[in-house]
Structure 1
Amino acid sequence: MQRPINRIDPLHPVQAYQTYSITQPRDALVKAACEQVGCAAWASGWESVIDESTPLGRDQAAYIRTQSGRTFREQKTAAGLTVFRFDSRQRCFAEHRTRPELYAVRDGDWRGNPSGRTRKHTRAIDWVEDFGEHQQRIADQQQKG
């Protein structure tokens, strides 16, 4: 059972407010970049140890060297394995998924949206900038009296 929400009675009509929200749709996954999901390999770099004495290992090493597009250093171990050391800040080989975030600004507050107007930002940075500018407008109006 969900607790009841306690709200302060608004001082102004619903038209005087804007609501900023960030939501995530349920059961939705999208491909995501390493940086977006906080991938440790992306942040610190990583090593791939490949056994080139097997067909799979030869194929993996050939892909890394000729098609991966990644920056790496290569060395051999005493056991004859190939170690590829990849620099940080480049996409790893994993396919990451995350839940998308929806950044919205709508007229009104919890009582409703009288104009029906909703703006959706595609990037978090734009939503944050919009929110900051809105807060500054409020502060400027309060200062004027």
Structure 2
Amino acid sequence: MTLRPINRIEPNMPVQAYQTYSITVPRDTAVRAACEQVGCEAWRHGWESVIDERTQLGQQQAAYIRGQSRRTFREQQRGDGLTVFRFDSGQRCFAEHQSRPEIYAVRDGDWRGNPTGMTRQHTRAADWVEDFGEHQQRIADQRKEG
């Protein structure tokens, strides 16, 4: 595989005048994630679990839901012997979700280097976006001032 050369515009300012904002995803890394983080449909809309309590597995599942699941639900017995547990939205489902973490970083400099060595990492995407927006506003204000 041949890589194409990167075309970069030559900067007008020294490297010290720049900041670089980046979002990266580490390779081959997965972390346990909450339903809300991964856009889980069960979390968003609620869900139903239909359990056959005539079986040993079904009895164990129903006992767990009733006594240990710590979830809000309504229970209904169906005519065919099955039990329907209806879970409200906004609570963790029973799946084990995984996600790839994102790293929200800001560092001094640009592609030519980081002259101060300063790098900071935001823990939330919203904080990174706010930081980026404030930086853009500072640049716009400086240009307006001349």
Residue 46 of structure 2 is matched in structure 1 by: 45
For residue 104 of structure 1, give the secondary structure of its aligned residue in structure 2: strand
Distance 1:102 1:77 in 2: 48
Q: How many angstroms apart in 1 are the aligned matches of 2:144 and 2:34?
A: 43
- Measured on the aligned residues, the alpha-carbon RMSD in Å equals 0.8
Q: For 1:3, what is the secondary structure of its paired residue? A: coil
Moved over 4 A (4+): none
Q: Structure 1 length normalisation: TM-score?
A: 0.97
Displacement after TM superposition at 1:75 (Å): 0.6
**TM-score under structure 2 normalisation?**
0.96
Q: Deviations over 1:80-124 (max 9, x none)?
A: 100001111110000000111111000000111111110111111
CA distance in 2: counterparts of 1:6 and 1:88, whole angstroms: 48
Return 5+ residue gaps in structure 1 as ranges: none
- Percent identity over paired residues: 77
The CA deviation string for residues 118-143 of structure 1, in whole angstroms up to 9 with x for no partner, is 01111111111111111111111111
Match in the other structure for 2:115 = 114
Match for residue 57 of structure 1? Answer: 58
Structure 2 counterpart of 1:27: 28
SS in 2 for 1:88: coil
